[in-house]
Amino acid sequence: MEPSSAEKMVWAPVYLETILVPTDLRPDSKVALSFALALAQKFDANLVLLHVFAEPYSSDTEIGAGAGRLLDATREDAEREVARLEKLLRAQYPKCRSAFRIGSPFEQILNEAVELKAGLIVMASHCYGWFDRLIHGSDAEAVLRQAPCPVLIAKDV
């Protein structure tokens, strides 16, 4: 008996050179870091940690000078946390680096994926309710729909 076409199918090997892992620095987004680190080690891929700082306003005149200083402090805190996470990851895996961008998270994630020629994006999905998703949308969903490469959505259970 001759093998069926499904039995004859040859699966192409998977190669990953660069894995992009966006993070919003919340504790529940660390599950994506765990998956990305494991995959990077398995495939000997570069691991790029990305944080996008989404400024709520574009000018100090809209929010006032005091609020502008608060945003600067918040941004500096986020930059320090990204650097801290990179240091922790590098201790386990030296082919890691980080990037810090400002703007719309899903747009910056997509831009970074294109620029890096990422082979995979690994990101967390937060368990927002239906109303929050309706009002705010989901960056993970937008990235999933428009990414130039495969996307792994990791959810903490």
Classify residue 148: in a domain, yes or no.
yes
Q: Give the residue with greater pLDDT, 58 vs 17.
A: 17
Q: What is the pLDDT of residue 90?
A: 93
C-alpha closest to that of 33 among 18, 19, 14? 19
Average pLDDT, the chain: 82
Q: Give the residue with greater pLDDT, 13 vs 58.
A: 13
Cα-based angle 140, 124, 133 (whole degrees, multiple of 5): 45
> What is the rounded distance in angstroms from the CA atom of residue 120 to the CA atom of residue 26?
21
Classify residue 3: in a domain, yes or no.
no
In this structure, what token pair is assigned to residue 79?
């930059």
Classify residue 5: in a domain, yes or no.
no
**What tens digit of pLDDT does each residue of 120-145 get?**
999 987 665 555 554 445 777 888 88
> What is the rounded distance in angstroms from the CA atom of residue 64 to the CA atom of residue 62?
6
Collapsing DSSP states into helix, strand and coil, what is residue 21? strand
Query: Virtual CA dihedral for 92, 94, 95, 99, nearest 10 degrees?
Result: 90
Classify residue 30: in a domain, yes or no.
yes
Classify residue 1: in a domain, yes or no.
no
**What tens digit of pLDDT does each residue of 33-70 get?**
999 999 999 999 999 999 999 866 544 445 555 445 44
Total domains present in the chain: 1
Classify residue 4: in a domain, yes or no.
no
Q: What is the pLDDT of residue 92?
A: 92
Under 8 Å between Cβ of 78 and 100: yes
Confirm whether pTM is higher than 0.85: no
- H or E element, residue 48: strand 46-53
Classify residue 10: in a domain, yes or no.
no
Classify residue 102: in a domain, yes or no.
yes
